[in-house]
Structure 1
Amino acid sequence: MEVQLWRNATVLLHIKNIKFLIDPMLGKKSSFGVFPWTQDNKPNPLVDLPFDTKELDNYLASIDAVVVTHLHPDHWDKAAIERLDKNLPIICPIAIAETIANYGFKNIKSFENNMLFKEISISLTEGLHGTGEIGKKMGTVNGFVFSTNEECIYFAGDTIWCKEVKAVINLYNPQYVVVAGGAATFAIGAPVTMTSEDIVALCKTFPEIKVLVTHLEAISPCKETREYISKKVLENGFSNRCYIPEDGESFIFD
């Protein structure tokens, strides 16, 4: 199994010779502008993709399916809508299927619980994209578990550390968990993605799991940097199984 972070939550998962592109944000730096409910005016995303247009085209030509957790612009942007082949399978929760279909995509595989895509079992999971007023504004988000007879990886999606995440890990017992870090924080309320404390708590609670931290340094609400999270992970003794990749970096799990 290979996981490559492109940028933010956009990840290429290669499992059983199948390539899934997860949460595609494909636009250039500054392409979708300022986030609401913030006190800054930085246009997002803050950085470009780690490869040029030709390389991106080659990557997109090789993928077998696209997976979308939710429709916030840092997970599904205008460039993704324009550049992705409209015949590609789009795997998503039922709740967002109609919106995606309205963009012209013709092969939508939406579901509520579990589905089989070729040899891969895929399960939809719940999360908590913040609490209180900001949690309501963020709306419903989901994650996905990808399982084969040999391996299981859980993409938690945009969620804080919560009972829903613990329940998924207890149920599916994944070897690998991909989390949205960065402590994304708006002008209202507490962080809506995992803080470094959340990540440390996950590692303490599930000592056998390897953790990959994404959602870093690409959008303005994210306050915790790679350097800061790496320091906290190291201080707590988890640097041997908690990885913080750079954009474009790949991990091969065995």
Structure 2
Amino acid sequence: MRGSLQYIGNATTLIRYNGFTLLTDPNFLHRGQRAYLGYGMSSRRLRDPAVEIEELPALDAVVLSHMHGDHWDRVARRGLDRETPIVTTTAAARSLRRWGFRRSVGLEKFEQHELHGPQGSVIITALPARHAPGPAEALLPPVIGTMVEFCNRDERVELRLHISGDTLLDRRLDAIPIRFPEIDLAIVHLGGTRLFGFLLVTMDGEQGASWVDLINPRTVVPVHYDDYAVFSSPLDDFRNHVERAGLADRVVYLDRGETRELAPHRLVRH
């Protein structure tokens, strides 16, 4: 097996490929604990993560879309090795370095960071994302999507994996399929998150289906849809909309804790 993708919960996944191990958006709070979202807002976690932070393997890097309490929590801050590189927004990287994560790397849109190993390299590219509509965007932490390209020793891309980050469907995302017309696997953040009870700040099922049509990946894994009370769009909303759009054959649904094999240019379907 060349690698694997494991769904841990919320937007947290463990990606292993070609000798590299990456963790996305580490959220290890337990059911009943609160994630803090700023401006006095918080949301209670409804489900436990499938893996405890102490059970993680050694990490080559963490890919962090933004600094919100359901993506980087107090458990991650206490429990992760401070020598682990964390690839994130420039704003989040500044905070992380103040907290002792001195190898944090902040990227602007389309900037890259590269990791090297005995079997090849990983190129992580920051991509556009929009966490809130209109002027409300300024109230939330900056966010990025990411493209993770696993390259072999000959520098050829074997697997291209896109992580949406917390975003709404927005015209600035149009640049992604232009720059990356061939995407093997996409991890899409859904949930229809509503702040203050009305402000939509992540894609609901309808937007998520349109996002799949826009980004055009070979395979899609949905995450970030039922862990917190602020989510308003259940997974079935997404399922219904991708079926109506004729895109259902691209979607792989993973249960918490489930692992699927990653092979060159594909997620292996069971």
What is the aligned partner in structure 1 of residue 138 from structure 2?
136
TM-aligned CA deviation for residue 161 of structure 1: 1.4
The TM-score, its normalising length taken from structure 1, stands at 0.87
User: C-alpha deviations, 1:19-71, integer Å up to 9, x for none?
Assistant: 11111011222323565679xx98522211124x4xx4232x33221121211
TM-aligned CA deviation for residue 224 of structure 1: 1.4
Within 5 Å, give how 1:18-37 maps onto structure 2: 18-33=20-35
TM-aligned CA deviation for residue 84 of structure 1: 0.5
Q: Aligned partners of 1:153 and 1:33: how far apart in 2? A: 27
What is the aligned partner in structure 2 of residue 80 from structure 1?
76
Residue type of the alignment partner of 2:172: E
Contact 1:124 1:145 in 2 (8 A): yes
What is the aligned partner in structure 2 of residue 58 from structure 1?
55
User: C-alpha deviations, 1:90-144, integer Å up to 9, x for none?
Assistant: 2222222221012122322333311211101111112111203433322321111
Q: Which has the higher strand share?
A: 2
Within 5 Å, give how 1:75-114 maps onto structure 2: 75-112=71-108, 113-114=111-112
Is the partner of 2:195 in helix, strand or coil?
A: coil
Q: Aligned partners of 1:168 and 1:208: how far apart in 2? A: 11
State whether structure 2 residue 219 is matched by structure 1 residue 201: no
Q: Aligned partners of 1:187 and 1:22: how far apart in 2? A: 26
Q: Which consecutive residues of structure 1, in runs of 5 or more, have no partner in the other structure?
A: none
Q: Against the structure 1 CA distance between its residues 30 and 180, is the aligned structure 2 distance closer, same or farther, given a 3 Å change threshold?
A: same
What is the aligned partner in structure 2 of residue 12 from structure 1?
14
Counterpart selection for 2:162 from 151, 154, 171: 154
Q: Which consecutive residues of structure 2, in runs of 5 or more, have no partner in the other structure?
A: 152-156
Counterpart selection for 1:120 from 122, 130, 139: 122
State whether structure 2 residue 76 is matched by structure 1 residue 67: no
Q: Aligned partners of 1:203 and 1:106: how far apart in 2? A: 36
What is the aligned partner in structure 1 of residue 221 from structure 2?
212
What is the aligned partner in structure 1 of residue 154 from structure 2?
none
Contact 2:35 2:73 in 1 (8 A): no
TM-aligned CA deviation for residue 226 of structure 1: 2.0
Residue type of the alignment partner of 1:48: D
The TM-score, its normalising length taken from structure 2, stands at 0.82
Q: Aligned partners of 1:88 and 1:169: how far apart in 2? A: 30
Give identity over the alignment, percent: 21
Between the two proteins, the alignment pairs up a number of residues equal to 248
